C-alpha cells in the first residue's frame, strides 16, 4: 500500500489524474485545490461542470479546514453512520472554485479506506472523488468494468483491490446552514 501512496503523490502534486479504489466504488481523483486538475476530470468524464463532484478528506480535522461552518447535526450523522456517507455542506473554503456548486455547496466524505486516508494525509489536501465512468454510463462496481477511455485518460492507476467488488456508492445528505437535513441518495 505504501508503494502505491508513493507512486500516487507525485501524480497528484503535478495536477495529474488518479484512478483509485475508495471505501465505495473506484474513483477518478485529483488534488481538490487544483482547478486545472478538476477541469481535466470534467473533460475526461465528458461531464458538465454544473454536475457536482465530491471530495474526500482524511478526518474531522481536515474537514474543518475546508468547511466554514459545520452544522452540529453533521457530527451526529458522521458518528452514527453505518456506511460511507457524503455530506453536502454550505460555504466550502480553500477549494478549487470549479469544484464548488453554483449554490456554494460541496459534498465531502470522511473516507474510511486506509489507502485513501494515508494518501490524503500525505498530500495534505482533499481529493476529488467521482465514479470511474464516463458521464451517463453505469458506475463500475469492479475494476474490470472500468472503460478503456477512463483507464487511458488518467495519469496513474493504483494497483490495489482490483479484484474487490464494490457494494454501492455512498449515502448523500444535504445539510443547510439553517439546520435542514435532506437525504439526496440512500
Of the listed ranges 3-17, 29-43, 151-165, the least confidently predicted one is 151-165
- Residue 134's pLDDT band, with cuts at 50, 70 and 90, is very high
Average pLDDT over all residues of the chain: 91
pLDDT at 166: 61
Q: What CA–CA distance (Å, rounded) separates 60 from 45?
A: 29
| Phi, psi at 152, each rounded to 5° | -80, -20
For the segment 108-123, what is each residue's pLDDT rounded down to a tens digit? 999 988 999 999 999 9
Which has the higher per-residue pLDDT, 141 or 32?
Answer: 32
Q: In this structure, are residues 42 and 49 in contact, taking their beta carbons and an 8 Å threshold?
A: yes
Which pTM does this prediction carry?
Answer: 0.90
Q: Could you count the other beta carbons within 10 Å of the beta carbon of residue 25?
A: 24
Is residue 177's pLDDT more than 90?
no
Q: How far is CA 103 from CA 29, 51, 52, 97, 107, in A?
A: 22, 12, 11, 12, 12
Exposure of 131 by Cβ count < 10 A (0-12 exposed, 13-18 middle, 19+ buried)? Answer: buried
For the segment 69-105, what is each residue's pLDDT rounded down to a tens digit? 899 899 999 998 888 999 999 999 999 999 999 999 9
For the segment 136-165, what is each residue's pLDDT rounded down to a tens digit? 999 888 899 999 999 999 999 998 876 665
Residues in the chain, total: 186
Amino acid at each position: 500500500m505504501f508503494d502505491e501512496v508513493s507512486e500516487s503523490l507525485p501524480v497528484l502534486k503535478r495536477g495529474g489524474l488518479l484512478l483509485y479504489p475508495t471505501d465505495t466504488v473506484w474513483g477518478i481523483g485529483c488534488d481538490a485545490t487544483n482547478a486545472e486538475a478538476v477541469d481535466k476530470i470534467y473533460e475526461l468524464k465528458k461531464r458538465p461542470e454544473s454536475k457536482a463532484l465530491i471530495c474526500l478528506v482524511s478526518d474531522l480535522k481536515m474537514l474543518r479546514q475546508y468547511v466554514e461552518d459545520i452544522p452540529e447535526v453533521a457530527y451526529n450523522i458522521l458518528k452514527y453512520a453505518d456506511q460511507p456517507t457524503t455530506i453536502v455542506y454550505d460555504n466550502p473554503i480553500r477549494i478549487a472554485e470549479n469544484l464548488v456548486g453554483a449554490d456554494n455547496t460541496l459534498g465531502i466524505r470522511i473516507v474510511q479506506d486506509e489507502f485513501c486516508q494515508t494518501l490524503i494525509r500525505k498530500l495534505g489536501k482533499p481529493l476529488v472523488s467521482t465514479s470511474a465512468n464516463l458521464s451517463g454510463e453505469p458506475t463500475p462496481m469492479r475494476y474490470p468494468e472500468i472503460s478503456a477511455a477512463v483507464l487511458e485518460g488518467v495519469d496513474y492507476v493504483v494497483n490495489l483491490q482490483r479484484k474487490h467488488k464494490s457494494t454501492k456508492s455512498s449515502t448523500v445528505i444535504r445539510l443547510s446552514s439553517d439546520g435542514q437535513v435532506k437525504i439526496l441518495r440512500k
